[in-house]
Chain A
Amino acid sequence: MKVHKLFQRMRFGIFALFGLIVLSTSLLCIRTVDTELSAEYAANSESIAKTIADASVDILLNRNLATLQSLIDQFLEVQGIRYIYITDETGEFLAHTFVPGIPEAIRESDPFRTEPVERSLPGMGDFLEVSSPILAGVAGTVHLGMDLDLVALKIQRAIGQQVYLISILLVVGILASIWLVNLVARPLAALLAYAVETARHPPEERALVVANEKLLERDDEVGQLARLILYMSRTRPPSGPEALPDPGAARPAA
C-alpha cells in the first residue's frame, strides 16, 4: 500500500525514537554489564586467592608441598582461573600449575606484590593476576591468574543476550507501529479515493457515484467524513456553511 507523506513522517519519527531508545539502552547495558561483571570476576578471584592463602598456612608450615599442590589443583577447576602459583617468603616458587614451565614474565615479576596486575603471557593469553599474602606475607604469597579472554567472552555473551532482547523489542515495536499506522492509513486512503471520485463527476452526477459501504458504516471520524461526502453529493450546495446538516444523522441503513 502506498505510504502517505503524513505517515511517512510518523514512521520515520517512530523509527528514530525506537533507535534512540535501543542505542541508549544498549550502551548503558554494555557499560553496566562490563563494569559489574569485571568487578565481580576480580572480586571472586581475590576471594579465592585469600581462601587459598588462609588454607595454606598449616600446610606451608608443615612443608607439605604435595598437599599444597593438591589444594591449588582443586581451585584450578574454578572456571576462569588459568593458573595459580605460590611463592614462599624468599620468593621461591613452592607450587604452581604451569605446563610446560613457569613463564619468564612470571619468573621475573615481583613475588611479593599483592596489587592486581594485568599480564599478557605468550602462548597463554591475557590475565588479571590477583595475589593474597599468606600469614600477612611472612609465609609467602598466593598468586592467581584469571583468564581475561574468558572473562571478556563471558561479558560479551551477557551483553549479546541483552542487546538481542532489546533488538527483538525494537523489531516488534516497529512492526506494531507499522500495523497501527496502516490501521489509520487504509480507511483514509479509501476516503480520499471516494472523495476524488465524487469530485471528478459534475455536481448533477455525483449522486450516482457508488460509495464504499464499509466506509459509510464506520462509526469513527472517517465514517462521518464519508457520510458527509455522500450527503453533499446528493444535495445542492447550500448558500452558507451554517446550513450544513449534522453528518452523524445522515447514516444510511445498513
Chain B
Amino acid sequence: MHSSCAAALLAPWARWAGAALAAGAGASSGAASTPAPGRQAPAPGAAGGEIVLGTSAAFTGPSRGLGNELYRGAMAYFREVNGSGGIGGRRITLKLYDDGYQPDPCVQNTLKLMLEDDVFLLFGYVGTPTVTRVLPMLKKFQEERIYMFFPFTGAQPQREPPYGDFAFNLRASYRQETAGLVENFLATGRRRIAVFYQADAYGRSGWAGVRAALENHGETIAGEATYQRGSRFTGTMRAQVEILQRAAPDAVICVGAYAACAAFARDAIDLGLRVPIANLSFVGSENLVNLLSEGRDDPETYTRWLVNSQVVPSYEDESVPAVREYRELMARHDPQIPEEFLDDPYDPLPQSFVSLEGFVNAKLMCEIFRRFDGEPNRAGLEDAVFSIRDFDLGIGEQVSFGPDRRQGLQRVYYTVVEDGRFVPLTDWNALPA
C-alpha cells in the first residue's frame, strides 16, 4: 500500500522493529513508538509473527473511561491468546493512538494507522463523531480493503450505505436501544418522552432513534436539550434541565457520555425533575454511577432514577460463560493503560459493561482470525467474517454475519442501580415516579 522502493528495502527492518516494540505488553502507543514505514507485503499488518490492529480512541479527556475500559477488556483476551501462542503462531498487537473523543485527531490517527503503520485492520474505535468522520476515509482507500471492526458506537452511518460495507459491528445499534427504551416507557404509560443529547453525530443518532420509535406509536419528542461534547461533571446542566422541565416529561432519554449525563441527572433531581432518566450503553454506566454516588451520605439520591440500556449482559451474572471467562481473565491480566496516556491518574474499574464489550469484541476478532487457513490477509477478511454463522460467543446469543448482516448481536439489556451496582430491570412499572 503506497509503498516506495526504499520502504520495500526497509521492510525487514521495519517488521523486526515493530515486533520488538510490541513484544513487551502486546500493545504499542503512537506517542511512544516510531511508526513503521509502509511495506509491500501480501498481508499488511499481519505478516510475520504478529497481527497488528490499529486503534484510535479516547484515552484522555472527560470520556477517557470509555477508551480505557474498552481497551482493557480487549487486552485481557488478547493477552490470554498471545500467552497461549497466539493464533497460528501470530501474536495480536494493538497500535494505539489517543484522539480524546475528538473527530479531527481521530482522522489524523487513522491516516497514520493506514498509511504509516500499515495495520491489518482498525479495531476498537470509540464514539460516533469520531467514527463518522473516519468512514469516508475507508471508502477512499477501499482498494486497500481496510475494515473497521467493532467500533464502540451504535450509530447508523457504519451500518448503512454508503459506508456500511467498510465496517463490522458486534453490538446492537442505538436505534435498537432507543426503540426498546421508548416502547417500555410507552407500555408503562410514560408517553411524554424528552431527550437530552450531545450536540454532535452521536447525540443526533440517538435523538433520531427516539424520534423514529415515538413516531411508530404516533408520538413526538416532548422536549429536547443539548450539551457540548467534552462537558465535565463539574459543569452545570441547569439550563438544559429548565428547558426539559417546561416540557413536563414522564421520562428523559440521555444520549451522552458519563460526565455530562451525570451532571444532568444531578441537576435534574436537584431542580425537581424527578422522572426516570435513561442512558444508552455508550454512557459508561459505572463511571456514571461513581460520579453520582461518590461522597454522598445517601448514594442512591440520584442513582435511583437511572435506567441504563446495555448491549452486553451484566458482568455480575456469572451464569453467563463469557462473563465468567471475562472476570477470570481481567483478574489474571489486569491490563493497564500505557503510561503516555496517563496525564492524570486513572483508577481502572475491576469490571464494567464497557470492558466486557471490549472483551467480547476481542474474542470474536480472534475467532475471525482463526477462520483463516494460513496467514490472515485483507482479501479474505470479509469471507472470514461471513463464515461466522450461529457462533456461540458465550453470552447467550448466537452471532451471525453475512453480506446483508454486518451487525453480530441484536439484544438489548436494561438495568437499574441497586446498592451501587447495575442489576437487570425486571419490572418497568416499579420505576420511581
Question: Which A residues lie at the B interface, using CB under 8 A?
Answer: 62-70, 73-74, 95, 97-102
CB within 8 A of B200: which of A62, A70, A98, A101?
A70
B202: chain A residues within 8 A (beta carbon): 66
- Residues of A near B239 (CB, < 8 A) are 100-101
Query: Measuring CB to CB, which residues of chain B are less than 8 angstroms from any residue of chain A?
Result: 103, 128-129, 132-133, 155-157, 160-161, 199-205, 207-208, 224-228, 237, 239-240, 243
Q: Is the CB of A62 within 8 A of B160?
A: yes
Q: How far is the CB of A97 from chain B (nearest CB, A)?
A: 6
A-B contact pairs, 17 of them (CB 8 A): A62-B161, A63-B208, A65-B204, A65-B207, A66-B128, A67-B157, A68-B204, A70-B129, A73-B103, A95-B204, A98-B199, A99-B199, A99-B226, A99-B227, A100-B243, A101-B226, A101-B240
The interface residues of chain B, by DSSP majority, are classed as: helix
Q: Measured between C-beta atoms, what is the minimum distance from B165 to chain A in Å?
A: 14
Decide if B243 touches A66 in the complex (CB within 8 Å).
no
What A residues does B224 contact at CB under 8 A? 101-102
Minimum CB–CB distance for B242 against chain A, Å = 9
**What residue of chain A has the Cβ atom nearest to residue B200's Cβ?**
A73
B226 CB contacts on chain A under 8 angstroms: 98-101
Expressed in whole angstroms, the Cα–Cα distance for A107 and B237 within the complex equals: 21
Whose C-beta in chain B lies nearest to the C-beta of A67?
B157
Given the complex of chains A and B, what is the CA–CA distance between A26 and B267 in angstroms? 53
A66 near B201 with CB under 8 A, answer yes
B201 to A73, Cβ gap below 8 A? yes
User: Closest 5 A-B residue pairs measured CB to CB?
Assistant: A69-B204, A66-B205, A70-B201, A65-B208, A100-B239
Task: Tell whether, in the assembled complex, residue B132 and residue A67 are in contact, meaning their CB atoms are under 8 Å apart.
Answer: yes
A66 and B208 contact, Cβ closer than 8 Å, known pairs A99-B228, A101-B224, A101-B226: yes
- Determine the chain B residues whose CB is within 8 A of the CB of A102 once the complex forms: 224
A101 and B225 within 8 A (CB): yes
CA distance A126 to B224 in the complex (A): 24
Residues of A within 8 A of B133 (CB): 70, 74
Q: Which of chain B's residues have a CB closer than 8 A to the CB of A65?
A: 204-205, 207-208
Question: In the bound complex, what is the Cα–Cα distance between A74 and B157 (angstroms)?
Answer: 16
In Å, the complex CA distance between A201 and B183 comes to 120
A66 & B228 in contact (Cβ 8 Å cutoff): no
Chain B residues near A70 (CB, 8 Å)? 103, 129, 132-133, 157, 200-201
Residue ID in chain B nearest A76 by CB atoms: B199
Residue of A nearest to B206 (CB): A66
Residue of B nearest to A97 (CB): B199
Given A73-B129, A99-B227, A100-B226, CB of A67 within 8 Å of CB of B240:
no
Q: Chain A residues with Cβ under 8 A from B132's Cβ?
A: 66-67, 70
Which among B103, B201, B237, B243 is the interface contact of A67 at CB below 8 angstroms? B201
Closest to A95 in B: B204
Assembled-state Cα–Cα distance A98/B157 (Å): 22
Closest CB of chain B to A91's CB: distance in Å? 13
CB pair B161–A69 under 8 Å, yes or no, is no
A100 to B129, CA, bound (A): 19
Complex partner residue of B204 from A62, A66, A99, A100, CB under 8 angstroms: A66
A232 vs B22: C-alpha distance when bound (angstroms): 107
Decide if A100 touches B157 in the complex (CB within 8 Å).
no
Q: How far is the CB of B159 from chain A (nearest CB, A)?
A: 10
CA distance A68 to B207 in the complex (A): 13
- In the complex, chain B residues whose CB is within 8 Å of the CB of A73: 103, 129, 199-201
Across the interface, name the chain A residue whose C-beta is closest to B208. A65
